[in-house]
Amino acid sequence: MAKLWAVAKREYLERVRSRWFVIATLLGPLMMTVLFLLPIYLRTRGMESAKASNIVILDATRTELGAAVAQSLGGGLQGDTSLAHVIRLAPSELAQAESSATRDVMAKRLDGYLVLDSLSSFGMSARYAGRNASTIPDMERIKRQVEQAVLINRLERAGFDADRVRSLSRVNLRLATERITETGRGGSGVGNIAVAFIASFVLYTLIVLYGQTILRGVVDEKNNRVAEVVVASVQPESLLAGKVLGVGSVALTQLAAWTASLALFVRFRTPILAWLGMPNAPIGLPGVGFLDIVMLLVFFVLGFILYAALFAAIGAMVSNEQDAQQAATPVTILIVMSAVFIQPVMLNPTSTTNKIISWIPFSAPILMPVRTSIVAVPWYEVALVMLGLIAACVVCLWIAARIYRVGILMYGKRPTLMEVARWIKYAR
């Protein structure tokens, strides 16, 4: 036990002291901050490009539709109240006006132009061209305003009072979302998706990162031939356990550092965002309880042990780094598959297929937290999945220990699957 501790201590201290650990610990939050800020930043940008005064409405409807659209589009969101410029023209002049507007957009004198023709006045079609054409919120907004202007136009022609119609039809609905679980209301749905995404992403990153660290560590020990000195003093099982414990603690340290800096950022986001010149986006802080965090930790620890055992076994089978990467492919695929399912599970956490996938021990550590943070999962289901995961850990550790015991002193060509099977059968 003391030796296991010595191994774990070495693995931990040597890695925490390394330059890479410091860099990753500092860069992690930076990356996460960027991930966090980028959508906000893009949204701000998106709003800027929608500045109505920078687009032109080419109105060939011979009605007041263009003016009405310009009116309801309003000014930009940046406090600019000037309206979009409306050019009224005959349908025959449209082609020429469009090509000149295109040139203006290309020369950045305009952001874009909206074409309203006879079909538009019937509410059938309109065209928009511009640099922000792929910005979904902008396009939604223009579409809505054209629809509304057509509607108002129709109502006016049906004899309703223009001003009344205008004031009655002005609706600006804001949809607030809230999640209801069996235990009651809790947090906003969007916030929970964010938590699910960040948690699963961080878990995935750490398991891949530190699983690979174990793999490299084992191959390195073999390559350096230091393994023989060490196993002459400790049982290979203790060496394996100490390694998993030590490297796992490094991962937990990193996780703690990242969580702390994320918490700090959320706490002080207003001054930070102001300093970056961005409007403060309201972050719907999701309700993450103590139990959620414990569950997340348990899944992380178990998932890490599972994959660490597999990576260690792979490391013991091969003699050099290139072979290691190749031999580790099946394990890598297992973990990447789990990551691939993050989004489907996030979008549809209650479908039977997604449920089953989230129960499989190899993907459970990453996908169960996704499900539990979006929908309410009964506690016994979580407990059963954890038990399954523990069982898988025990089996994998047992197999890994046997492969490790034989493989760590084997050099030369990579063993075939048959040989590995023999190792497992007759370890020592």
**What's 110's DSSP letter?**
-
Closer residue to another protein in complex, CB, 224/322: 224
What is the footprint of another protein within residues 236-295 (CB under 8 A)?
none
Among 144, 225, 379, 394, binds another protein (CB under 8 A): 225
Closer residue to another protein in complex, CB, 14/140: 14
List the x/- string, 148-187, binding to another protein by CB under 8 A. Answer: ----------------------------------------
Q: How far apart are the first and last CA of the chain?
A: 21
CA distance linking residue 264 with residue 266, whole number of Å: 6
Sheet-wide strand order for 55-59: 85-88, 55-59, 112-116, 127-130
Closer residue to another protein in complex, CB, 212/373: 212
Closer residue to another protein in complex, CB, 193/234: 234
Q: Compute the least distance from the CB of residue 258 to another protein, in Å.
A: 25
Q: Is 64 helix (H, G, I), strand (E, B) or coil?
A: coil
Left, alpha or beta for 364 (phi > 0: left; psi -120 to 50: alpha)? alpha
Closer residue to another protein in complex, CB, 108/428: 428
Q: Compute the least distance from the CB of residue 423 to another protein, in Å.
A: 10
Residue 121 CA to its chain's centroid (Å): 42
Residue 226 sits at the vertex; the CA angle it makes with 220 and 230, to the nearest 5 degrees, is: 120
Q: Compute the least distance from the CB of residue 344 to another protein, in Å.
A: 42
Contact 386, 301 (CB under 8 A): no
Closer residue to another protein in complex, CB, 224/329: 224
Among 155, 231, 257, 298, binds another protein (CB under 8 A): 231
24 binds another protein (CB under 8 A): no
List the x/- string, 389-428, binding to another protein by CB under 8 A. Answer: --------------------xxxx------x--x-----x
Among 6, 209, 283, 288, binds another protein (CB under 8 A): 6
Among 22, 229, 260, 294, binds another protein (CB under 8 A): 229
CA distance linking residue 312 with residue 397, whole number of Å: 9
10 binds another protein (CB under 8 A): yes
Closer residue to another protein in complex, CB, 146/215: 215
16 binds another protein (CB under 8 A): no
Helices (H) and strands (E) in the chain, counts: 19, 6
Among 78, 224, 329, 351, binds another protein (CB under 8 A): 224
58 - beta bridge partners? 87, 115
Look-up: residue for tokens 């929908």?
Answer: 375
Contact 178, 188 (CB under 8 A): yes
116 - beta bridge partners? 59
Q: Compute the least distance from the CB of residue 224 to another protein, in Å.
A: 4
Among 55, 227, 306, 392, binds another protein (CB under 8 A): 227
Q: Which of 178, 319, 199, 179 is nearest to 262 (CA)?
A: 199
Contact 206, 296 (CB under 8 A): no
Q: Which residues contact 405 (CB under 8 A, 6 or more apart)?
A: 236, 237, 427, 428
14 binds another protein (CB under 8 A): yes
Closer residue to another protein in complex, CB, 231/283: 231
Identify the H or E element spanning 256.
helix 236-267
CA distance linking residue 392 with residue 397, whole number of Å: 8
Closer residue to another protein in complex, CB, 10/154: 10
Among 42, 226, 293, 336, binds another protein (CB under 8 A): 226
Left, alpha or beta for 138 (phi > 0: left; psi -120 to 50: alpha)? alpha
Among 172, 232, 267, 425, binds another protein (CB under 8 A): 232
The residue range among 26-34, 83-91, 218-226, 316-324 that interacts with another protein, by the rule CB under 8 A, is: 218-226
The site that binds another protein (CB under 8 A) totals a number of residues, namely: 27
Q: Which of 80, 9, 85, 93 is nearest to 49 (CA)?
A: 80
Residues that bind another protein (CB under 8 A): 2-3, 6-7, 10, 13-14, 18, 221, 224-234, 409-412, 419, 422, 428
